[in-house]
């Protein structure tokens, strides 16, 4: 990791780095100070403003918490089991063994409850090692809403006679509040559906999907806050008297839907042809200023033997490190187990395409060549 990045968050990261643990590539480090949700006319900032306008006036808005958090805050305080997959280095960016780039804004739930907040919204950049395609990017943005209630007061003002009645009221209030936000952000007709979901820190839990370009796109997760989380945030006594709900909304996906932006990479473009379209803060529909041809390249290799020696996310990350935002998506197109050796082979198809210019075949070949060398050197695979 280079120390060229100079912003305060990058410095916080660099000051805490344990080189033997850190898995943050330069292209991600270069974005930790971007704060697109606070960046003037940026579509992510406009979405945030629209959400803030739709929240009840009493909501405390928090938007400047550092994304550098402890594993205790990001995982333990929320009841993630010790062996949960999202803790692994294949899913999460570690700075040292106890410090990560937050993977969700839920990392601040307990801290903000401890500070006495009972109705708040946190906006922030979050980080995950994940697949590569038009709706996934290693850096994205979330809005986290939390609302706590005093059980006795709730029972009295809403005439709720039992825990079950309180639970049903909370579910309706959560879903109603979220639909109000989503509907006020999207003025037109919107087709949505609720699905059951699972989070260690809420129960029950749901996700909300929105129909976009003929496909269901997951936009948020939510649920009734787990009593253990309330206990950590409020202390045992106050927790017994309290209930609450929480949600986490993906801002980038909402912005894609609202402005008709086809690809998350565009949010990171420095091209004025992108940014000039959004300076009015109106609900404009993005006009693609160019559609350059895609350029596909495949790579196949034998995976190293042994559990945990390789994770597909390692390949996605390496591809992003080498191809940067010139890679539009990466698909695992073939997986095959050799009948005799038992070795597994993966074939990936990489789509190189820039939003800003045509990539020459020669240039794409040179990127692909670098990638082929790097997979052998860094992932211990054998090219086929």
Residues that bind ligand FA5 (CB under 6 A): 104, 106, 128, 130, 136-137, 140, 142, 144, 199, 202, 205, 218-223, 246-248, 250, 252-253
Which stretch, 37-45, 79-87, 219-227, 371-379, contacts Mg ion (CB under 5 A)? 219-227
- Selected from 221, 233, 244, 250, the binder of Mg ion by CB under 5 A is 221
Burial letters 26-61, b for 16+ CB under 10 A, else e: ebbbbbbbbbbbeeeebbbbbbbebbeeebeeebee
255 within 8 A of 43, measured Cβ to Cβ: yes
CA atoms of 49 and 70, how far apart (whole Å): 29
Task: Tell me 77's DSSP state.
Answer: G
In the list ligand FA5, Mg ion, none, the entry touching 104 (Cβ below 5 to 8 angstroms by class) is ligand FA5
Describe the strand order of the beta sheet including 215-225 as a list of residue ranges.
Answer: 60-62, 119-127, 139-150, 242-250, 215-225, 202-212, 192-199
Which stretch, 90-98, 144-152, 168-176, 218-226, contacts Mg ion (CB under 5 A)? 218-226
Pick between residue 199 and residue 352 the one whose CB is nearest to ligand FA5.
199
In the list ligand FA5, Mg ion, none, the entry touching 199 (Cβ below 5 to 8 angstroms by class) is ligand FA5
CA atoms of 148 and 370, how far apart (whole Å): 52
Is 223 a binding residue for Mg ion by CB under 5 A? The answer is: no
Pick between residue 124 and residue 221 the one whose CB is nearest to Mg ion.
221
Q: How far is the CB of 126 from ligand FA5 (least distance, A)?
A: 7
Is 250 a binding residue for Mg ion by CB under 5 A? The answer is: no
CA distances from 221 to 1, 250, 258, 341, 381 (A): 33, 9, 19, 42, 36
Residue nearest to ligand FA5 (CB): 250
In the list ligand FA5, Mg ion, none, the entry touching 354 (Cβ below 5 to 8 angstroms by class) is none
Q: How far is the CB of 26 from ligand FA5 (least distance, A)?
A: 19
Pick between residue 252 and residue 352 the one whose CB is nearest to ligand FA5.
252
In the list ligand FA5, Mg ion, none, the entry touching 295 (Cβ below 5 to 8 angstroms by class) is none
Pick between residue 66 and residue 88 the one whose CB is nearest to Mg ion.
88
197 within 8 A of 205, measured Cβ to Cβ: yes
In the list Mg ion, ligand FA5, none, the entry touching 24 (Cβ below 5 to 8 angstroms by class) is none
117 within 8 A of 147, measured Cβ to Cβ: no
Helix residue ranges, H only, 101-222 = 109-114, 151-158, 163-185
Q: How far is the CB of 269 from ligand FA5 (least distance, A)?
A: 16
Q: What SS3 state is found at 142? A: strand
CA atoms of 347 and 356, how far apart (whole Å): 28
Residue nearest to Mg ion (CB): 221
Pick between residue 95 and residue 264 the one whose CB is nearest to ligand FA5.
264
Site of interaction with Mg ion (CB under 5 A) = 221
């Amino acid at each position: 990791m280079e120390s060229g990045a100079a912003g305060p968050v990058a410095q916080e990261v660099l000051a805490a780095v344990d080189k033997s643990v850190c898995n943050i590539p330069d292209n991600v480090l270069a974005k930790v100070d971007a704060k697109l949700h606070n960046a003037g006319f940026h579509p992510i900032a406009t979405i945030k403003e629209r959400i803030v306008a739709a929240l009840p006036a009493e909501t405390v808005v928090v938007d400047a918490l550092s994304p550098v958090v402890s594993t205790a805050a990001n995982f333990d305080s929320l009841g993630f089991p010790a062996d949960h997959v999202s803790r692994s280095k294949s899913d999460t960016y570690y700075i040292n063994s106890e410090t990560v780039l937050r993977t969700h804004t839920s990392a601040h739930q307990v801290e903000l409850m401890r500070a006495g907040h009972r109705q708040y919204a946190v906006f922030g950049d979050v980080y995950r090692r994940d697949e590569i395609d038009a709706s996934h990017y290693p850096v994205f943005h979330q809005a986290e809403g939390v609302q706590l209630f005093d059980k006795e007061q709730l029972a009295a003002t809403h005439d709720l006679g039992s825990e079950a009645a309180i639970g049903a009221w909370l579910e309706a209030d959560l879903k109603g509040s979220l639909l109000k936000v989503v509907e006020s952000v999207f003025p037109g007709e919107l087709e949505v559906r609720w699905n059951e979901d699972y989070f260690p820190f809420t129960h029950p839990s749901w996700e909300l999907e929105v129909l976009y370009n003929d496909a269901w796109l997951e936009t948020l997760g939510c649920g009734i806050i787990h009593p253990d989380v309330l206990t950590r945030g409020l202390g045992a006594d106050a927790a017994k008297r309290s209930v609450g709900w929480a949600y986490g909304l993906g801002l980038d996906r909402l912005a894609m839907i609202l402005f008709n932006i086809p690809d998350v990479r565009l949010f990171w473009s420095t091209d004025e042809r992108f940014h000039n379209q959004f300076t009015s803060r109106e609900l404009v529909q993005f006009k693609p200023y160019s559609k350059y041809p895609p350029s596909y390249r495949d790579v196949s290799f034998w995976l190293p033997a042994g559990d945990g020696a390789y994770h597909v996310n390692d390949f996605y990350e390496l591809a992003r490190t080498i191809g940067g935002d010139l890679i539009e998506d990466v698909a695992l197109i073939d997986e095959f187990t050799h009948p005799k050796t038992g070795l597994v082979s993966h074939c990936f198809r990489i789509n190189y395409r820039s939003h800003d210019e045509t990539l020459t075949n020669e240039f794409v070949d040179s990127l692909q060549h670098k990638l082929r060398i790097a997979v052998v050197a860094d992932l211990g695979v054998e090219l086929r």
